[in-house]
Amino acid sequence: MAENDCTLCPELLTRLGAAAGAAHALAAFIEAEMVEPTMPWRDLLPILAIRARNLADQAQGRY
């Protein structure tokens, strides 16, 4: 095995870290809305969908 071989590339680690941070923020947002709602569920669900889609895009390296 050469010295330059790696099992996880730095870009992947960066992406995973960013996605984990985004997932944590999404979970905190949901939890906060469950404890003290700031909007009706009807308005909240589209926001959650957008945040989940952004999380998936971030994990795939789209931004």
Helix (H, G, I), strand (E, B) or coil at 3: coil
Contacts of 33 (CB under 8 A, 6+ apart): 39, 44
How is the chain split into domains, by residue range? 37-63
Residue whose tokens read 């895009």: 57
Q: What confidence tens digit (pLDDT) does each residue in 38-59 have?
A: 999 899 999 999 999 998 888 8
Side-chain half-sphere exposure of 18, counting CA atoms within 13 A: 16
Q: How far apart are CA 20 and CA 14, in angstroms?
A: 10
Q: Poorest-confidence range of 3-12, 18-27, 46-55?
A: 3-12
